[in-house]
Chains A and B, each alone.
Chain A
Amino acid sequence: MSYLPNFIFLILLILGGGIFLRNILQIKRNINLGRATDRKDQISQRWKQMLRIALGQSKMGTKPLAAFLHLIVYVGFIIINIELLEIVLDGLLGTHRLFAPLLGSFYNILIASFELLALLVLVAVFFFWARRNVIKIKRFWKAEMKGWPKYDADLILYFEVVLMSLFLCMNATDFLIQQQDVPHFIKAGSFPVSQFLLPLFDGFALETLLILERIFWWAHIAGILVFLNYLYYSKHLHILLAFPNTFYAKLVPDGKFEVDQNIKNEVMLMLYPDQTEPSSQGEVPSKFGASDVFDLQWTQLMNAYSCTECGRCSEACPANLTGKKLSPRKIMMDTRDRLEEVGKNLNANNGVFKPDDKQLLHDYISAEELWACTSCNACVDVCPIAIDPLSIIMDMRQYLVMEQSAAPQQLNSMMNNIENNGAPWPFSNQDRLQWANE
């Protein structure tokens, strides 16, 4: 009987961890639906990029206030997670504040700093909430943020408030119990923040406090497990995926777009039929460009899962800024939504995709959005975790042009001109040097 809580805790932990693992594997499977691309080169450069951008948050600084608040929540969550280790061990072993005797007075410093960080996180979260809901910063209220994306953003903040509050209430009730010399509840910890919560529990009987403390303790750890599993459904997934995403992000200059090697072979065959082995790779691509998530590279799909919908890309986008339909953030959100839809389709059909008469192009992203892009790289440059919406736009344009000949008429003229006279305008190439004599 006395081991019942330990047992329940173990079940809870296995359940929470198990579902989380299943979610992660599902994401991995979905990302791997993308085309192969080799990103295993220059490993040391990649590590540096990840440490600099993800761990060091080097690209957050352009908005100093947001960067500061974000840093508090980020550091807060990482450090408070040390406490989580003790909570898990306490839960499994049936101990209470297991680390206290081992760490001595350092334990008090540790708990005190957790409490201060928890308070700072609460303050930061309040500012984040106010920026979204009171100040209503424009990028949080664009068209693609209606409905679930808006709820999701708020829900994450509420989650954090609840978790931090439970942590502080747990400490407050524990502190009151400690003062009444209850054997299991050793005198440990220093509570610079939760001491201000004591009036809330003033005059409660010891029995009530004991029950409350357990409720807070259990709700806190259960809440963390729920939050962990909420990530899969949320834009908050960036806390995990920012790391691989920056690791595998492209290392070449922003201006260098991918040169399709399959097409190169085709072009070589046309230009130099004598010198080119026909289909030396044996690969004539089945499709040029991208019309659905299967045609994108896995890194582009990981980009979609990593996006936390902060909207800096759309704020910087010249097309979006001047009222065009294009929003780079929406490109990423659409890609994730379509990928999720495909994932559910796979789940429902034993892992075999059943054609659903839908695709990323048209059903999610319209040609009008794609044609509004100036390829200026502002979205790519500004993304705090190195997401590349531009590459998706370019791949989809390629499909429109090479598979469907569906470019705007003026672009068709431009391309005809290049093909016929080597310039985007209808001038004869023989006049190329006229300027020198004018």
Chain B
Amino acid sequence: MKLNVPTLASLQEQGQKPDVVFWVGCAGSFDDRAKKITKAFVKILNHTKTSFAVLGTEESCTGDPAKRAGNEFLFQMQALQNIETLDRYGVTKIVTTCPHCFNTLKNEYPELGGNYEVMHHTQFLKSLIKEGSLKVEGGVFKGKRITFHDPCYLGRANKIYEAPRDLIQKLDAELVEMKSCKSKGLCCGAGGAQMFKDAESGDKEINEERTSQALETKSDIVAAACPFCTTMMTDGIKHHKQEDQVKVMDVAELIANANNL
């Protein structure tokens, strides 16, 4: 199935404006694993006939990893340029599959002049279900054990714990919690720009610890809601040699699969 991915520029040429802008993020655009999440989400957007557009080549890093690495200057350069682009198109509403982009756009752009309604894709999917355009039934996931790994920048940072869990429960799956969950959720190890560097020396990698917790739940699937978490958790499962038994999937992929998209 060919994806329909309009850009803001192409819509503007036709004199149109989308209801919402899908902020794809760098991982979602370039990382092979994360691209699958991006496509799964777009399939749902197409399926529900959501009026959306992406920035395409006009999108640039939000600046989150630069800021967390200590480069406030580079962060603000990125932010101000992105705000200029978004405002040029008169964007008011943004949805993103990356909690880091979500947090930065939602919380740190306003002080630099960028004011938008920003939603994480789990919140957005929930709203699609609520308004009736998206129906979710268990399908392949019916009766499966699924545990949810809270992304720090969705959970603790923004107190969004229920939206992804509500979606998982729509799959008629059995949602099981890890020993650290919600506000006590353990980081996957990628935040604060750690994704882009080796960890400092220690006893073990953080994702090994977190996936141990996930494996303790004896789940069939580890659900995530962040491209970086997905990568870290996938690697952690491989470290424990459980990749044949346990799959790591983004909530958008679960929903898309359940609907045979």
> Is the pair B191, A394 in contact by a Cβ cutoff of 8 Å?
no
Stretch at the interface among B103-111, B132-140, B166-174, B242-250: B103-111
Q: Which of B22-80 contact A (CB under 8 A)?
A: 24, 26, 28-31, 35, 38-39, 42, 54, 56-57, 59-61, 63, 65-74, 76-78, 80
Stretch at the interface among A71-79, A165-173, A366-374: A366-374
Question: Which of B73, B183, B196 meets A402, CB within 8 Å?
Answer: B73
> Is the pair B73, A407 in contact by a Cβ cutoff of 8 Å?
no
Q: Does A124 contact B (CB under 8 A)?
A: no
> Is the pair B206, A322 in contact by a Cβ cutoff of 8 Å?
yes
> How many pairs of residues, A versus B, come closer than 8 Å at their CB atoms?
216
Interface string of B181-204 (1 = CB under 8 A from A): 001101101111111111111111
Q: Which residue of B lies closest to A265 (CB)?
A: B76
Stretch at the interface among B122-130, B141-149, B156-164, B216-224: B156-164
> Is the pair A259, B112 in contact by a Cβ cutoff of 8 Å?
yes
Q: Does B5 contact A (CB under 8 A)?
A: yes
Question: Which of B70, B73, B200 meets A325, CB within 8 Å?
Answer: B200
Given contacts A271-B80, A378-B156, A418-B78, contact A263 B200 (CB under 8 A): no
Give Cα A381–Cα B31 distance, bound, in whole angstroms: 31
Q: Which residue of A lies closest to B200 (CB)?
A: A372
Give Cα A378–Cα B28 distance, bound, in whole angstroms: 26
Give Cα A434–Cα B69 distance, bound, in whole angstroms: 28
Residues of A within 8 A of B206 (CB): 318-319, 321-322, 374
Residues of B within 8 A of A266 (CB): 73
> Is the pair B111, A374 in contact by a Cβ cutoff of 8 Å?
no
Q: Does A377 contact B (CB under 8 A)?
A: yes
Residues of A within 8 A of B198 (CB): 410
Q: Does B235 contact A (CB under 8 A)?
A: no
Interface string of B97-118 (1 = CB under 8 A from A): 0000001000110011000000
Residues of A within 8 A of B111 (CB): 259, 261, 264
> Is the pair A401, B192 in contact by a Cβ cutoff of 8 Å?
no
> Is the pair A322, B205 in contact by a Cβ cutoff of 8 Å?
yes
Give Cα A340–Cα B4 distance, bound, in whole angstroms: 62
Q: Does A180 contact B (CB under 8 A)?
A: no
> Is the pair A423, B183 in contact by a Cβ cutoff of 8 Å?
no
Residues of B within 8 A of A401 (CB): 69-71
Stretch at the interface among A4-12, A18-26, A249-257, A293-301: A249-257
Give Cα A425–Cα B193 distance, bound, in whole angstroms: 12
Interface, chain A (partner B; CB < 8 A)? 62, 252-257, 259-261, 263-264, 266-268, 270-271, 288-289, 316, 318-319, 321-326, 368, 371-378, 380-382, 394, 397-402, 407-408, 410-411, 413-415, 418-419, 422-425, 427, 429-436, 438
